[in-house]
Structure 1
Amino acid sequence: MNHSARKAGWVALLAGALLVGGGACGGDDGPPDENPSPDGGTQADAGTKLPAEEGRALAVSNGGLVVVGSTEVNLATTGVDLLVRRYTASGEVDTAFGTQGSVVLDFEGPAKGPISGQREQDDRADTVAVLTDGSILVAGFARGGNATNSRDFAVVKLKPDGQLDTSFNKTGRSRLHFGEDNAVNFVGTLRGILPLEDGRFYAGGFLTKSDGLDEDFAVIRYNADGSLDTTFKSAGSPSGSWIGGAYTDAEAVQGMALQGSSVVLGGGDHFKAVRITASGSQDLTFGTSGLATSEGGQAHALVARPNGGFLLAGSDQDVKVGGELHGVLKLVAYTADGKPDVTFGPAGVRQLTAPAGVLDVVDVSGVRIQADGKALVFADVYAKPVLFRLQANGDLDTSFGTDGMVRWTETQLAVPLFVRATTGPKLTVLGDKAFVTDANVYSSGFFPDENPRVLLKSTGL
């Protein structure tokens, strides 16, 4: 679809219709308490069934790890709620954080006015960032009504001890609703947070009509106090945001990287990336007419490279190998200006089709660059997690594991980069470190070296 025509459509749909309720963007959470304390899920007694939980992202916090996602601990009353939990460096739940180690938040809703006459359901955190002062930003979505698929952007700021930070939007949380009052036209979620040195931050994800047929890049810039930064503006998008045009049927921000005062967004079909200036406009000198793209597959993660470029990691499910179609790991390297980095591979692309053990990649959930320039890529290969390590030029690092890979047995690990209480080993990847647990006992045999790793014990995640 023509980009300018698509932007005109956003003008008609969104002009004057971006609702920011409750102070700057708080929705109907009500006035803050004098001594706010987030809802807390209780710890299950020994022998009782733990509530269903799902981790989605993690970050280093206070010497340990903070994991975010969702929980059904209050399913009967508030539905699926946003979850934040912190673990100590030894893998225990940090009971000094939140309520006995957890923060459980329900975004009552919708953002304005009744939709279904019932409490809003299915809040979830998809990304987290820890700021230099130890405070924690969490983002994801708040569903816009029990009977709909509508989803609003949701952001929460916590103090280092897990209490809501009421200097942020007066309530510690922000809810951003697209469309008219009571409308359920839009589905969105935030999948990345990129803090800036001055306290502002970008939150990126996707926005689509509720039919789900056309996901578009979306990035919001917030002030430190939780209000929208209205100096960030682009024609056809509400102030404080840049909503991309429809280049194909799915563009979602899966990662962001700063380039000077600009920000690069990447992810979705055909490994797309764009660069947005500090003022909020798309940089049309980037890539080809403002867009970097590589035909085929879908990017699930982005990371900056030491040379100023960036790397997108994902998969391509329709690659013929030995006469059969397979899902393969695909990586695309771009230069700082969004051009294919041919030093990484032809057209900047690496598709791993050999040895046979690299085939049938279903999902990629993490990519990190080590200090030596090597890349760690974590993939879910039919419920069997695999950690790849590649040389800076894209070759498999055969000194790592077996043929450049470390494998685990089947774990039902649907979303890597977090730990959950399933049988078998679990793994997270952060920077150049990996964190492993196997039935609450670390086994050095999972890695080719004997360096100690952090153990995250199974406590419901």
Structure 2
Amino acid sequence: MKRNVWSGWNLVWAVATGAIVASSGACGGDDGDPDPGPGPTDAGTQADAGAAQPIEEGRALTTSNGNLIVVGSTEQNPTATGVDLLVRRYTASGTLDTTFGTQGSVVVDFEGPATGAISGQREQDDRADTVAVFPDGSLLVAGFAQGGVKSDSRDFAVVKLTANGQLDTSFNKTGRSRLHFGAEGSVEFRGAVHSVLPMANGLFYVGGFLTKSDGLDEDFALIRYKADGSLDTSFTSAGSPAGSWIGGAYTNAESVQGIVLQGTSLVIGGGDDFAAVRIRPAGNQDMTFGTSGLAKSVGGRAHAMVARPSGGFLLAGERQDVKVGGTGYGVMKLVAYTAEGKPDVTFGPEGVREYTAPEDVLDVVDVSGLAIQADGKILVYANVRAKPALFRFLTNGDLDTAFGTGGVVRWPETQLTLPLFIRPTTGPKLVVSGNTAFVTDANIYTPGFFPGPARLLLKSTGL
């Protein structure tokens, strides 16, 4: 199933230097990849209304010791540095934590292409798409560094920060690294990191996708690093560069949207047809998993993945153009697999649940958050008819009608005076850490909706 599509290519390990600059709380931004252009105005509703603020975009969030960590990108200084990677920390009350980084923010500029002026633009455009917290409170932030507006070439970008928001220079000597695919100076490949998994032994995995710059076929990409930020070249697979597993046998768009640990092996999944594969600790694909090494459920695209208490795993996403009463809609799709990658038929026929009722949950265009509570109930966050909605399901996939209204909690598209991110055209994400729930795009505090004391509901679109 795995062909050697990457033979003759090279991995260029780029050590980037650059500045860390301060950024204040922002209230602008929009949808799109890193050259977003002018964002929507806030009509004077934000705390900093009237001030010229940089366009910013939140992409992922997590919690650490009661604080909220948000990562994404900023156009604080586009003429000098392009779009830069952004990390910001808020307290549980929603105020900027000025003890972190520089007045609450860390902005990382990777500076220029991997080698030479490969795009006609001096600066890289950089963005963070995922974040993980180590036990000591340090942060691993990952995404991509782009070759510039004239090229869609993108390298894997990883940044390691100390708990107080400083670059960790024990990591690749600079606190950052960029992994370039293809020949040195080329713009042949495009990749991005969407998931990270730190391990207890100091190793960590980053997962995302890799494709030729034409974007016609995205493939799973999984890289293993040592604690010092160097590639772990003992992680090998035939047809992939040392330190990586690149899935080149499948023709759909696969992207690692989640990593689930199974003993010493990993299951990665996401993208078209809710695909998943299992990778052994040495780096080779486990062909006993699923069907000939691949688990999939035809139709739709998965954007989130989580381990299930049963030992299996769950993928969440959406399928478009589902006919309901003769009309095409986008609907939420959940797919449950056993630990061995087989459909879990106790969850639904072929392990699949698609939600076409009640009618007011139709037109799901983006499923972007997934968590399983301690009691096994499932929380899914989605964009439904351009408004955020939080769903709760029972362990068998039925809507939990005791939650919200008929199993759904919705919020209007309103704005708060909290200076977070505004990105109204994409569904925000939910993170649940223990008994603490952070939900974006909400202007209410309703602890009854969540297990345990809900700490905070924040306005923060684009996450």
CA offset digits 1:266-288 (Å, max 9, x no partner): 00000000000000000000000
What does residue 321 of structure 1 align with?
Answer: 324
Question: Aligned residue for 2:151?
Answer: 148
In the alignment, what sits opposite 1:289? 292
Q: Against the structure 1 CA distance between its residues 226 and 122, is the aligned structure 2 distance closer, same or farther, given a 3 Å change threshold?
A: same
Query: Which residue does the alignment assign to 1:218?
Result: 221
The answer for the alignment partner of 1:77 in structure 2 is 80
Which residue is equivalent to 1:20?
13
Q: Aligned letter for 2:195?
A: G
Inter-CA distance 101–138: structure 2 relative to 1 (3 Å threshold): same
1:398 equivalent to 2:401? Answer: yes
Post-superposition shift, 1:457?
A: 6.5
> Displacement, 1:405?
0.4
Structure 2 partner of 1:122: 125
1:164: which partner in 2?
Answer: 167
Query: How far does the alpha carbon of each residue in 1:380-401 deviate from its partner, in whole angstroms, 9 at most, with x for none?
Result: 1132111000000000000001
Label 1:255 to 1:43 Cα distance change in 2 as closer, same or farther (>3 A): closer
Aligned to 1:34: none
Q: Distance in 2 between matches of 1:419 and 1:393?
A: 36
Find the residue that maps to 1:76 and give its secondary structure.
Answer: helix
- The 3 A distance-change label for structure 1 pair 369 and 248 is same
> Aligned equivalents of 2:317 and 2:191: distance in 1?
21
**1:403-431 CA-partner distances (Å, limit 9, x unpaired):** 1000112359xxxxx962479x9874324
Q: Deviations over 1:87-118 (max 9, x none)?
A: 01111100000111000111112112331353
1:291 and 1:429 mapped to 2: Cα distance?
Answer: 28
Summarize deviations over 1:243-283 as a string: whole Å, max 9, x none.
Answer: 00241230001111000000100000000000000000000
Aligned-partner Cα distance in 1 for 2:328–2:444 = 37
The superposition leaves residues 38-64 of structure 1 with CA deviations (integer Å, 9 ceiling, x where unpaired) of 222245767413221111111112320
The match for 1:420 is 421
Q: Which amino acid aligns with 1:10?
A: W
- Describe the superposition over 1:139-182 as per-residue Cα deviations: whole angstroms up to 9, x where unpaired: 00000244211000000000011000000000000100000111
Alpha-carbon distance between aligned partners in 2 of 1:151 and 1:317, rounded to the nearest angstrom: 28
- Bigger mean CA deviation after superposition, 63-72 or 425-434: 425-434
Q: Which moved more, 1:117-126 or 1:247-256?
A: 117-126
1:189 equivalent among 182, 192, 214? 192
2: CA distance, partners of 1:419 / 1:380: 19
Contact 1:41 1:74 in 2 (8 A): no
Identity value in percent: 67
1:193-342 equivalent positions in 2, closer than 5 A: 193-342=196-345
In structure 1, the residue matched to 2:7 is: 11
The separation in 1 between residues aligned to 2:380 and 2:175, in whole angstroms, is 34
SS in 2 for 1:362: strand
Contact 1:388-1:405 at 8 Å conserved across structures? yes
1:359 maps to a residue whose letter is L
- Measured against aligned partners, the alpha-carbon deviations of 1:319-364 in whole angstroms (never above 9, x if no partner) come to 1111111111100000000000000000000001111122111010
| Equivalent pair of 1:18/1:179 in contact (CA under 8 Å) | yes
Asked whether the 8 Å contact 1:20–1:177 carries over to 2, the reply is yes
Q: How far apart are residue 459 of structure 1 and its match?
A: 12
Q: Decide which moves more: 219-228 or 73-82.
A: 73-82
Residue deviations 1:422-456, cap 9 Å, x none? 79x987432464335779x6443994899553154
Counterpart amino acid of residue 20 in structure 1: W
- Once the two structures are TM-superposed, the CA of residue 122 in structure 1 deviates from its matched residue by 2.0
Pick one of 179, 201, 205 that aligns with 2:182: 179
Contact 2:369 2:430 in 1 (8 A): no
Whose strand proportion is higher, 1 or 2? 2
Instruction: Tell me the residue number matched to 2:38.
Output: none
Aligned pair in 2 of structure 1 residues 110, 448: CA closer, same or farther (>3 Å)? closer
Q: Within 5 Å, give how 1:38-117 maps onto structure 2.
A: 38-42=20-24, 47-117=50-120
In the alignment, the residues of structure 1 paired with residue 271 and residue 243 of structure 2 have an alpha-carbon distance, to the nearest angstrom, of 23
2:17: which partner in 1?
A: 29
TM-score normalized by structure 1?
0.89
Q: For 1:454 and 1:138, how far apart are their aligned partners in 2?
A: 23
Kindly provide the amino acid, as one letter, of the partner of residue 256 in structure 1: I
Rate the CA distance shift 1:226–1:448 in 2: closer, same or farther, 3 A.
Answer: closer
Q: Which amino acid aligns with 2:17?
A: D
Q: Which one has more relative contact order, counting CA pairs under 8 Å at least 6 apart?
A: 2
CA gap 1:202/1:458 in 2 versus in 1, 3 angstroms: closer
Partners of 2:441 and 2:306 lie apart in 1 by 28
Please state whether the residue corresponding to 1:69 is helix, strand or coil.
strand
Q: Which runs of 5+ in 2 are unaligned?
A: 27-47
Tell me which moved more, 240-249 or 361-370: 240-249
2:446 to 444, 447, 451: 444
Change (3 A) 1:86 1:161: same
Q: What is the letter of the counterpart of residue 39 of structure 1?
A: V
Kept in 1: contact 2:274–2:300 (CA 8 A): yes
RMSD between aligned alpha carbons? Answer: 2.6
Q: Secondary structure of 2:76's match?
A: coil
